[in-house]
Chains A and B, each alone.
Chain A
Amino acid sequence: MTDSSLSPPIGLTHSPPVSFGGTMRWFSRRPDGGLGMLVQYAVLIVLASVVLVPLVATALGGFKELGDLRANPFGLPKVWMWSNYWDILSGARYWQVLGNSLVIALLTVFLTLALSSMAAFTFAHLHFFGERFLLNYMLLGLLFPAATAILPLFIKIRDLGLLNSHWGIVLPQVAFALGMGILLLRNAFRQLPGELLDAALMDGCGYIRYFFYVTLPLSRPILSTVAVIAFVSSWNNYLLPLVVLNSESRYPWTLGLMAYQGEYSTAWQLVLAFITLTILPAIVMFVMAQKYIVAGLTAGAVKG
């Protein structure tokens, strides 16, 4: 984990806006005293175990028999019950909920990027009457969470005939992500040198071609930040699918996990195996692209 994080993943050659490379000593220029260092590591190790033990116990618990789990929740399984995991992996249910989540998240990311970059482009470069008002209107969505309007939103989705469909989740998710996307992208687009646009317009290149051939290619880092935020929040969303969906075949993994837990509530070992398998994609992605994800989530927060 340490090694891979030292070199940025490919595609990250535009360095992310906030650096986490950490090469500075903070408190003191003198080497720390042995005792102070020891205390610091003790604190770090205790905290790291508090963070990791529940996760490791969950993964190991998935390998146990129920009685074993009861007698010994911490230790290694007495008998490794590979079948707990294998039964889930060989069934359709697990793959279906992950597939649903992936479809919803990819559609959300694509539409969020497309709609917010187009809107941000007009707000960044085109000045027209009412521009300021429209921008502030679109940024209103940043002030409150979707939960506040969830009941009228449910009625709206129902009246539009989108209930129990993936679009009923994707479209509201995009609508609520637009504020963040427009804010981040508009600021980034305005950082691009204005002379570029002046020259392009002079040479007869229209705004739309400029958008596709200059703005978007030059804005990849910030576009990926918006994409990471939209993807993670869609992947982890629970409330909206809970309200919109009612047939289990359309459930994303968050709902599928709760449904599974409801069904097997007396068999913790199976629930633990299911939890482990459903959070695995997020953990794998995080470990593979940690710099990317950390920078995306925190830089987005800082700039927004």
Chain B
Amino acid sequence: MTLASPGETIRRPGRSGWLTILIFLPPALLLFTIFVAMPMGEAAWYSFYNWNGYGRPENFVGLKNYVSLIGNAAFTRALANNLIIIVASLAIQLPLALGVALILAKRIWGAVAFRMIFFLPYILADVAAGLIWRFVFDGDYGLASAITGLFGAPPVYLLADKNWAFSAVLIVIIWKYFGFHMMLYIAGLQSLDKSLLEAAEMDGATAVQRFRYITLPLLGPMIRLSVFFSVVGALQLFDMIVPLTGGGPFDTTNTMVSYLYYFGITRMRVGFGSAVGVVLFLFCVTFALGYRRYFMRDD
């Protein structure tokens, strides 16, 4: 970000300019301060108190809210789940999205229709997607049991099984989000310089070599972007958990945000919930800044 764009002379604002600044800037500044900056600062402040949200926070407890998170089984599980989502996104979702993008970036029959089908789940609300899959996984009425029934197996209640519920959640996440990453890769593939690939082919490089040494490196910026969105999206996942499992069974499917909701908001433990928020904030900011600094420097 440089301050002056090329060809633009640096102007002093002048009277009309200052008037513009005074009219144009304050509304955005005010709204942002009230609803984004202040709540974040207040979260840090409240997190040192034991407070139910009424009156003023007075019961100062120091770091107790944070300390109680350490070793808290439900919170540790939520944190681990967030990490599992990230790993699943990187290990399953991104290769799948890239593979499909490689097929669909070509001019093949039906490519546009397939792209739209794969992108479709992304525009649905997480709540709706979660509820649809709650039906799919439902042991009595759902599709999953109908499939196992074909093999003569008894109905499965995936979402009620504490060993399998979170895997079921992962399936829904991949179902909903891989199309978005596929679109990123298709956009990346279409902006590549085709002459490189043609030259390599003329020199006798195989399809695998061309992919490994030309397509993949040139796609680097888009892959880094896709990884960035996977991680950021994983850290804030919430809407889907509520309709699917509500965090259960036995608090095994919470994410950090759903933990914050079920243990902080619904019980009006403002101080405790704020501490969870601050932890989440630190994860998000550390990741966003660190990632941009070390991986997206050149993009």
Contact = CB atoms under 8 A, between A and B. Distances in A.
B112 A140 contact: no
Interface in B115-133: 115-128, 131-133
Contacts of B179: 51
Contact of A149 (B43, B102, B288): B43
A151 B131 contact: no
B102 A232 contact: no
Contacts of A279: 124-125, 128
Contacts of B280: 144, 147-148
B225 A302 contact: yes
A116 B20 contact: no
A282 B148 CA distance: 32
A152 B43 contact: yes
Interface residues of B, number: 118
B132 A58 contact: yes
A156 B42 CA distance: 10
Contacts of B7: 193-195
Contact of A127 (B10, B43, B111, B133): B10
Contacts of A131: 3
Contacts of A140: 36-37
A51 B175 contact: yes
Contacts of B136: 54, 57
B270 interface: yes
Contacts, number: 350
B141 A54 contact: no
Nearest to A192: B5
A134 to B, nearest CB: 7
Interface in A260-304: 261, 268, 271-272, 275, 278-279, 282-283, 286-287, 290, 293-294, 297-299, 301-302
A218 interface: no
Contacts of A126: 11, 13, 17, 20-21
Nearest to B222: A302
Contact of B40 (A44, A149, A154, A258): A149
Given A28-B207, A69-B141, A257-B128, A272 B135 contact: yes
Nearest to B144: A73
Interface string A150-166: 11111110100000000
A190 B5 CA distance: 6
A149 B5 contact: no
A63 to B, nearest CB: 14
B143 A151 contact: no
B257 interface: yes
A25 to B, nearest CB: 5
A143 B32 CA distance: 14
B147 to A, nearest CB: 9
Contacts of B99: 43
Contact of B39 (A52, A153, A282): A153
A298 B183 contact: yes
Interface in B85-129: 99-100, 102-108, 110-128
Contacts of B19: 206-208
A137 to B, nearest CB: 7
A147 B151 CA distance: 43
Given A2-B112, A238-B242, A27 B207 contact: yes
A20 B114 CA distance: 13
A282 B11 contact: no
B213 interface: no
B8 interface: yes
A147 B277 contact: yes
B25 A143 contact: no
A194 to B, nearest CB: 3
A78 B149 CA distance: 20
A76 interface: no
Contact of B35 (A24, A143, A171): A171
Contacts of A44: 100, 103-104, 110, 114
A40 to B, nearest CB: 5
A74 B143 contact: yes
B110 A2 contact: yes
Interface in B254-299: 257, 260-261, 264-265, 270, 273-274, 277-278, 280-281, 284-285, 288-289
Among A40, A44, A208, which residue has the most Cβ atoms of chain B within 10 A? A44
8 contacts: A6-B112, A55-B121, A119-B24, A145-B284, A148-B280, A238-B238, A239-B261, A282-B123
Query: Top 5 closest A-B pairs, CB basis?
Result: A194-B8, A175-B35, A236-B125, A149-B39, A152-B42
Given A27-B106, A118-B28, A152-B270, 13 more contacts: A1-B113, A26-B189, A55-B121, A73-B141, A114-B27, A126-B13, A145-B236, A150-B260, A152-B40, A206-B16, A282-B124, A287-B116, A298-B183
